[in-house]
Amino acid sequence: MPLDADYDNFHLPSHVGIIMDGNGRWARKRNMIRTQGHLEGLKTAKKMVKVASNMGISFLTLYVFSTENWKRTADEVGFIMGLVKTYLREELNFYRENHIRIRHAGDPQGLPLEIAGEIREVCEATRNFQGLSVILALNYGGRDEIVRAVRRLSAEGRGEITEETIRRHLDNPDIPDPDLIIRTGGELRTSNFLLWESAYAEYVISEKLWPDWTEDDFKSAISDYQRRERKFGGIRT
């Protein structure tokens, strides 16, 4: 398929979610260990934050680690958690310079204490920034998020259970639903990403593995999204 990186600056998706998949396969293809793939994937993630920020996108959710990813070896899990910690520390100046706000989606309670602490600090340090918001989905599962939302709602012991009251108890109720969800690595599934919020998201699947993903690929996904007709269950008028 030809790459069409020409997108319309005036009709950007407000919220883009990315399932950053394919790090392990990228490493295997090069006879490297899986963790090398995660290291390379982190470089791509940093690039995409810059690209989204320069384009003027408001919200970017990155699927970093799912509630199911704990099934991996202790070595791999430990490596990913270490990367998250270094990333947050190293990039703080960059966030400040670019007014980037960092937020978290997922259950902080299941995270190692120092990682949860690091996230809390960086979210606090960047909370007043008005540029791009980067939401790190870490120890995140869509089902888990819904369960935690319903628990919080029922613990309040008042009010009705409606779509609106559940929505208001999700991890980041003030953030609009994703307009576009990109999945790299070619798999045709959600893998538990933003289940509630993605009800009417447009999907773009790329065969490319995440460490190979480029600025042009991102722009081409935006342009692909802009050619879709969104109907939200209605009919064309």
User: Which residue, 163, 123, 167, is CA-closest to 145?
Assistant: 167
Residue 232 Ramachandran class (φ > 0 left, ψ -120 to 50 alpha, else beta): left
- CB burial of 96-107 (b: ≥16 within 10 Å; e: otherwise) equals eeeebbbbbbbb
State which residue, 33 or 150, has the beta carbon closest to ligand IPE: 33
Query: DSSP state, 54?
Result: H
Contact track, Mg ion, 120-159, x by CB under 5 A: ----------------------------------------
- Nearest approach, Cβ of residue 65 and ligand IPE (Å): 5
The answer to whether 36 and 24 have CB atoms below 8 angstroms apart is no
Edge-to-edge strand ranges of the sheet holding 101-105:
101-105, 133-140, 59-66, 15-19, 180-183, 202-205
Does residue 98 carry a catalytic annotation? no
Among Mg ion, ligand IPE, none, partner that 202 touches (CB below 5 to 8 angstroms by kind) = none
Point out which residues pair with 102 in neighbouring strands. 134
The answer to whether 131 and 99 have CB atoms below 8 angstroms apart is yes
Q: How far apart are CA 57 and CA 55, in angstroms?
A: 6
Q: For Mg ion, which residue has the nearest CB?
A: 21
**Structure token digits, residue 158:** 């008042």
- Nearest approach, Cβ of residue 167 and ligand IPE (Å): 23
State which residue, 21 or 202, has the beta carbon closest to Mg ion: 21
Q: For ligand IPE, which residue has the nearest CB?
A: 24
Among ligand IPE, Mg ion, none, partner that 19 touches (CB below 5 to 8 angstroms by kind) = ligand IPE
Residue labelled with tokens 């670019």: 98
**Structure token digits, residue 19:** 């399932």
Which residue among 23, 69, 139, 192 is the active-site one?
69
State which residue, 65 or 225, has the beta carbon closest to Mg ion: 65
Amino acid making up residue 113: L
State which residue, 110 or 131, has the beta carbon closest to ligand IPE: 110
Q: List contacts with ligand IPE (CB under 6 A).
A: 19-25, 63-66, 69, 80, 185, 187, 189, 191
Question: Does residue 76 interact with Mg ion by CB under 5 A?
Answer: no
Site for Mg ion in 18-37 (CB under 5 A): 21
Among Mg ion, ligand IPE, none, partner that 168 touches (CB below 5 to 8 angstroms by kind) = none
Does residue 21 carry a catalytic annotation? yes
User: Under the rule (CB under 5 A), what is the footprint of Mg ion?
Assistant: 21
Residues acting as catalytic residues: 21, 69
